[in-house]
Amino acid sequence: MKISEIILLGGLSVFSGSLLWGSLDMPYSTDTTFGPGFIPLNISIALLALVGVVAVRAVLRSKRGFVAPQDTAAHGGDGGENSGVETLGAFMLGGAIVAIAISIYAMSYIGVLIPLGFLLVVLSWQFSGHGLLKSVVISLIVLAAIYLIFSIWLRIPLH
């Protein structure tokens, strides 16, 4: 099982576990029908069970893969170079997510446009590999288009 899938399934398990815990405080049924706790409780249990099934299945598959290593070679996965590229990609992605998170945080204090402008420049310059000047120019054009459409046309207060 890939690390990203473990993160996804782990996150879903924590999410469903916390909703399961929360739904225990809600009425499961009333005199005439089911209560607000019915769906969250049952679906949380179902989700946890399904995550368990997929995890067990993955473990069984990986065991089979360990017994027959030629299977992985047949799929072109010798690790090495590919994993290096993947790690670099994951770092890039992590950096982009952090940059977006910082700009969202800044937006709560100084409005949308300025942090968005900086974010677009950073994304274009650091993550898409364009030159700084080109990134600034393109970001300004995108920002101007966004301002025209959302702020002027649709009157959404972006600043």
Is 70 one of the binding residues for other proteins (CB under 8 A)? no
Residue with tokens 């946890």: 48
Determine the interface stretch with other proteins among 38-46, 59-67, 70-78 (rule: CB under 8 A): 38-46
Supply the Cα-derived Rg of the chain in whole angstroms. Answer: 24
Residues 84-143 that bind other proteins (CB under 8 A): 85-86, 89-90, 92-93, 96-97, 100-101, 103-105, 107-108, 112, 116, 119-120, 123-124, 127-128, 130, 138-139, 142-143
Whether residue 149 contacts residue 102, with contact meaning beta carbons closer than 8 Å, is answered with no
Is 12 one of the binding residues for other proteins (CB under 8 A)? yes
Closest distance of CB 62 from other proteins, Å = 15
3-class state of residue 118 by DSSP:
helix
SS3 sequence, 69-125? CHHHHHCCCCCHHHHHHHHHHHHHHHHHHHHHHHHHHHHHHHCCHHHHHHHHHHHHH
**Residues of the shown chain interacting with other proteins in the complex, contacts defined by CB under 8 A:** 2, 4-5, 7-9, 11-12, 15-16, 19, 22-23, 26-27, 30, 32-36, 38-40, 43-44, 46-47, 50-51, 53-54, 57, 85-86, 89-90, 92-93, 96-97, 100-101, 103-105, 107-108, 112, 116, 119-120, 123-124, 127-128, 130, 138-139, 142-143, 146, 149-150, 154-158
